[in-house]
Amino acid sequence: MTEPLSHPENRKHAPHVRRHGIKQFINIYNQNKDRIDRCFKWGDEIEYVIVRFDHNNKKVRLSLRPKDILEVMDEREAREGPKCEVLWRPEYGSFHIEATPGQPYGHQNEMNGKKSMNCWFNNVENNMKERRRDIKHLLGPDEALLCLGNFPRLGCDDISVPYSSPDPLNSSTGSIFVSDVLTNSAHPRYIKTGYNIVQRREKKITINIPIFKDTKTPDPFIELFNDKESNREAKVDHIYLDAPVLGMGCSCLQVTMQATNIEEAFVLNDQLLPLTPIMTALSAATPIFRGYLSDYDCRLEASSASMDDRTPEERGEKPLKHDKFRIHKSRCAPLNTYLCECNARYNDNPIVYNTEFYDEMISAGVTLSLAQHMAYVFIRDPTVTYWEKLDQNDSTETDHFENIQSTNWQTMRFKPPPLNQQSIGWRVEFRPMEIQMTDFENAAFSVFTILLSRIVLKYKLNFIIPISKIDQNMSTAVKRDAVNRSKFWFRKDIFAQNTLQDVNNNTNSSKTNYERYESEEESYIEMSINEIMNGYGNEFPGLIPLIRDYVKDLSLDAQTYNKVQQYIQLIADRASAKVKTTAKWIRDFVRKHADYKHDSVVNEKITYDLLNTLNRIQNEGINVNEFV
Ligand code: ADP
Ligand code: MG
Ligand code: MG
Ligand code: MG
Ligand code: MG
């Protein structure tokens, strides 16, 4: 078993890990900067929870069986390798399990040299269904695999089998709500991550999610805990949480796509970034935390705060003395940088970065924006380091790079190819979406994301607005019913290009950065998601009509075409409020429940009925519309 460094050692060796991580990145960059991957491949990741129903007592709890299940699945994968249709992976919670397709979609094209999109459209939802069949024989009679943004009562008493209870004095996180047992123990990295984060920030995790004020919710809403730090940190009118697993325990839907070359990966990174808040709002699915209805519909705030390892100096609570940087965001946060040089002037957030690493990357030929992005990613400490991996050969190994890269949980991730892997090129991962209730919806959001990426490339669309505006949009997107109640900054003319020419002109002109922004303010306005997606009048074409045009030209067979149209229609209907988001569906289910007292409390019985209904919808094929 790999042996992690103790906390002080982890911090002591952080500069070593960073220094070598950057050298490893430079090596990856130089080996791959000219590579071309003509075959378009992509894949989704879904995080599931396993629950166990106690039908006699009308209770449902998290089942901590994924560890055993993964042992079986890992053995099978070792035996059958690329023949597996589904790959199962561990996740942060001990009740969590992640699945991806056995091979990325589109890989068949690579094998038979075709370029057709036809073959994979149907595979997505089929693979999601296959995952449920695949795991079925390993589940007990009362257990179920569920797509669920957050277990509604995570952090309340008696929510796991076996039973677990918080142990603030002896646990790795000091949490008054959850035991370490709820964090994955199959590998030391998960518990150690939480422990190191808490040590580094010099206090417990603090998460405050605004509570949904229903007619009988106490006003003000104040909870008193048997713990001084908690009482100090808990905000009035908020649901207070204090452990990594209470944020990382949320589940999400991710999509990774391969680009033809590094430049195309930059374009996809940049053009999909302004869409992250829009897709968060459309996919909202997480309206309950620790047994209370919240005024947010999404997990982002909880996961971001749950992995915030910044020290008091880095957070700006104390003047800088021991630490190098004042850092404005958690390592789990909206992406901070555009990567195309022509978009660099829209990087208007403060970017603190390691200038030594930056200079080293520039001397090695890395492009300016990518160097700045990586030098920003590499201001963080590794969350966990292992003794056996400390000494590495930077020209053949990449663990130090991956260590820091993969623990920067931003809303998008620019993924370089792994060393010496023919089949994996430059990729971009789209990470802002919430998990949907059904395979149909998860497939719809995955396919829709891919279609967005295709129209960006085909029609050379331009969604770029200042990064600070995207952050502002994200703060809006997570709020209750944001999809239909809020407006979002969006680019007015999505066909006008940003060119390097403009940048050069601007640089040569006597205007200050600020004045340049002033003149660019004309280029974006506030729109509703309905307007952005479905368009309005002659003013704005809407992304969905563009996608429909694109799909028409794909010459899909009739059945596939109809399926894709259903996916697109779901997004169109969410945007126009014709169909509820998952969050709204869950919220309405709770508020209509006979046991709900309009005090924001989601009790055990409501949770049981909600999850039982979700199970029937997801695993027994009951139509979701029966419950609307
Ligand atoms: P991570 O957790 O680091 O994001 P995973 O391995 O869990 O990585 O998921 C990666 C996703 O990328 C999977 O859906 C997988 O099918 C997909 N994938 C694998 N190879 C490629 C490729 N060459 N291009 C695009 N996507 C790929
Ligand atoms: Mg994964
Ligand atoms: Mg995951
Ligand atoms: Mg992961
Ligand atoms: Mg991922």
474-523: pLDDT as tens digits? 999 999 999 999 999 999 999 998 876 555 555 444 554 444 544 566 79
Measure 205 CA to ligand 5 centroid, in angstroms: 23
Question: Does residue 546 register a pLDDT over 70?
Answer: yes
**Which residue owns the Cα nearest ligand 1 atom 9?**
45
Can you tell me the ipTM of this complex?
0.97
Q: Report the residue among 256, 405, 428, 442 best suited for mutation to probe ligand 1: largest number of ligand atoms under 8 A from its CB.
A: 256
pLDDT at 520: 63
Closest CA to 447 of 107, 120, 88, 116: 120
Mean pLDDT of 204-228: 98
Which residues, judged by CB distance below 6 Å to any ligand atom, belong to the binding site of ligand 1?
A: 41-45, 89, 100-101, 104, 254, 256-258, 406, 423-424, 427, 429
* 61, 54 contact by CB (below 8 A): yes
pLDDT at 614: 98
407-456: pLDDT as tens digits? 999 999 999 999 988 899 999 999 999 999 999 999 999 999 999 999 99
Question: Does residue 112 register a pLDDT over 70?
Answer: no
pLDDT at 116: 64
Question: Does residue 193 register a pLDDT over 50?
Answer: yes
Question: Does residue 265 register a pLDDT over 90?
Answer: yes
Closest CA to 499 of 278, 286, 282, 342: 342
Backbone torsions φ then ψ of 504, nearest 5 degrees: -60, -45
The CA dihedral of 46, 52, 55, 58, to the nearest 10 degrees, is: -80
Question: Does residue 114 register a pLDDT over 90?
Answer: no
Measure 409 CA to ligand 5 centroid, in angstroms: 9
147-180: pLDDT as tens digits? 999 999 999 999 999 999 999 999 999 999 999 9
Question: Does residue 73 register a pLDDT over 90?
Answer: yes
Nearest listed ligand to the Cα of residue 423: 1
Domains and their CATH numbers in the chain = 7-459 (3.30.590.50)
**Which residue owns the Cα nearest ligand 1 atom 6?**
100
pLDDT at 122: 87
Mean pLDDT of 516-538: 84
Closest CA to 332 of 308, 350, 296: 308
Measure 173 CA to ligand 1 centroid, in angstroms: 31
Nearest listed ligand to the Cα of residue 107: 1
Indicate the helix (H) or strand (E) that contains 581.
none
Mean pLDDT of 367-385: 98
Measure 357 CA to ligand 2 centroid, in angstroms: 28
For tokens 């560890």, what's the residue?
67
Question: Does residue 379 register a pLDDT over 80?
Answer: yes
275-307: pLDDT as tens digits? 999 999 999 999 999 999 999 999 999 999 999
Measure 249 CA to ligand 5 centroid, in angstroms: 15
Q: Report the residue among 38, 39, 45 best suited for mutation to probe ligand 1: largest number of ligand atoms under 8 A from its CB.
A: 45
Measure 429 CA to ligand 5 centroid, in angstroms: 7
